Amino acid sequence: MKVLVINAGSSSIKYQLLKTKTKEVLAKGIVERIGLDDAFIKHAKDDGESVVIPSVVADHKDAIALVIKTLISKEHGVIKSMKEIEAVGHRVVHGGEKFKSSAIITPEVKMTIRNCFSLAPLHNPPNLIGIEACEEAVPNVPQVAVFDTAFHQSMPPKAYMYALPYEVYEEYKVRRYGFHGTSHGYVAKRAAEILGKPYNALKIITCHLGNGSSIAAIKDGHCVDTSMGLTPLAGVCMGTRCGDIDPAIVTFIMEKEGLDAKGIDNLMNKKSGVLGFSGVSSDFRDLEEASAKGNNRAELALQMFEYQCRKYIGSYIAAMGGVDAVVFTAGIGENQERTRRNIIEGLEFLDIKIDPEKNKVRGKEMIISPDNCKAAVMVVPTNEELAIALETQILVSFKTKGEK
């Protein structure tokens, strides 16, 4: 099945056209600066060379039309007609408590996505605009919403509830949702495949460590806990986000620095993390470089990140009563040898170890623990677009079968 995957932001739309059977990416790209005078599309065919085409793109509907036009264009296209697009899969950040899995888009589904606007005010509204633009542009093609939060909906209440007044949960649905769910689910299932063991008989800890980082505990095929919370700010420290802090610090700093709610949110989300701490960069590669040159704060920022990840792994092992596999994925998880080594160091007492030679791997599927260990440590590159395409294909095939 050829699936168009759409990730719509407020002024941009990322897309990929994939063939699910072969897992090929036929084309990918991004429409940027939607609604502005200097809008453009950056498009790459499977041969990998990208072209930039300035275009008039007044709104998201124009943007989707432009994507389709480019996909079928003689020069840059990869398909002959838009009829070849068999389904569209949309990344939707927040599915609230309603969506425990992906969903074929219906008027009710759109309403529910809208009901989650207040939980993800920056993401859900443009996601919905992207959906509606596609409905108009390709009205007969089935659309599927794949939620960042859905995978984590299997968490038990003791893991997702906060010890706040209960009314805050009833009234505003304040609870832990977790994010990166599509990625956690994808790499956990891949890990089980690679190990040749049934996914629903394993205790897996997935570490999605990128510019945003989250860790999840997956027991017998169900997510039982994850480090992000109501929002993606919580958990381990990240590129620019502070992660878990004493909540009293929020008001302490507001008063000391004379900040309002927007100001402190901006500080915690954009000016904190390893960037705010080191003053060097939000990019872990830059930090390693700075640390190698003797920058103490860069070194400490890396140590804090590693230490916090290790503590989460320990806590999730306790939560599940053991662990069979620890999986590293995303930019840092797939590529940073040092970070993986330091996270796992000290877990030898649980028979969790890393083979230094195998740990040199970058961006490839690999078991990096020694052969005789009880728990496997693995690198499994994530692929959210492919995961969205596969989810979309499953739902659409199921629906088509049902209709036949």
Partner 1 sequence: MKVLIINAGSSSLKYQFLRTMSKDVLAKGAVERIGLDDAFIKHTKDDGKPVVIPSVITNHKQAIELVIKVLTDKEHGVIKSMKEIEAVGHRVVHGGEKFSSSALITPEVKVAIKACYALAPLHNPPNMVGIEACAEAMPKVPQIAVFDTAFHQTMPAKAFMYALPYELYEEYKVRRYGFHGTSHGYVARRAAEILGKPFNSLKIITCHLGNGSSIAAIDNGKCVDTSMGLTPLAGVCMGTRCGDIDPAIVTFLMGKEGLDTKGIDNLMNKKSGVLGLTGLSSDFRDVEAAAEAGNTKAELALQMFEYQCKKYIGSYAASMGGVDVVVFTAGIGENTPRVRKGIVDELEFLGLKLDHDRNQVKGKDAIISTDDSKSVIMVVPTNEEMAIAMETERICMTC
Within 2-61, which residues bind partner 1 (CB under 8 A)? none
Q: Is 47 a catalytic residue?
A: no
Contact 205, 327 (CB under 8 A): yes
Considering only residues 124-163, where is the footprint of partner 1 by CB under 8 A? 157-159, 161-163
Q: Which residues make Cβ contacts (< 8 Å) with residue 177, sequence separation at least 6?
A: 94, 96, 119, 149, 152, 160, 228, 229, 230
The contact pattern for partner 1, residues 180-219, with x = CB under 8 A and - = no contact, is: ----------------------------------------
The contact pattern for partner 1, residues 330-369, with x = CB under 8 A and - = no contact, is: ----------------xxxxx-------------------
Tokens of 193: 């495949």
Whether the CA torsion 244, 232, 317, 336 is positive or negative: it is negative
Rounded to a whole number of angstroms, the minimum distance from the CB of residue 123 to partner 1 is 14
**Measured distance CA(30)–CA(14) in Å, rounded:** 4
**CA 217-212-149 angle, 5° bins:** 50
User: Does 325 participate in binding partner 1 (rule CB under 8 A)?
Assistant: no
Tokens of 393: 């294909």
Neighbours of 229 (CB within 10 A): 20
User: Does 377 participate in binding partner 1 (rule CB under 8 A)?
Assistant: no
User: Does 318 participate in binding partner 1 (rule CB under 8 A)?
Assistant: yes
User: Does 328 participate in binding partner 1 (rule CB under 8 A)?
Assistant: no
Binding residue for partner 1 (CB under 8 A) from 135, 307, 337, 341? 307
**Measured distance CA(325)–CA(33) in Å, rounded:** 42
Binding residue for partner 1 (CB under 8 A) from 36, 122, 164, 292? 164
Task: Give me the catalytic one of 148, 244, 265, 324.
Answer: 148
Strand partners, 328: 207, 379
Binding residue for partner 1 (CB under 8 A) from 58, 106, 122, 252? 252
User: Does 249 participate in binding partner 1 (rule CB under 8 A)?
Assistant: yes
Q: Which is nearer to partner 1, 310 or 358 (CB)?
A: 310
Q: Which is nearer to partner 1, 102 or 308 (CB)?
A: 308
**Measured distance CA(166)–CA(173) in Å, rounded:** 10
For partner 1 (CB under 8 A), the number of binding residues is 78
User: Does 255 participate in binding partner 1 (rule CB under 8 A)?
Assistant: yes
Binding residue for partner 1 (CB under 8 A) from 69, 100, 197, 297? 297
Distance of CA 403 to the CA centre of its chain: 32
Q: Which residues make Cβ contacts (< 8 Å) with residue 256, sequence separation at least 6?
A: none
- Residue type at position 329: T
Q: Which is nearer to partner 1, 164 or 292 (CB)?
A: 164
Catalytic residues: 148
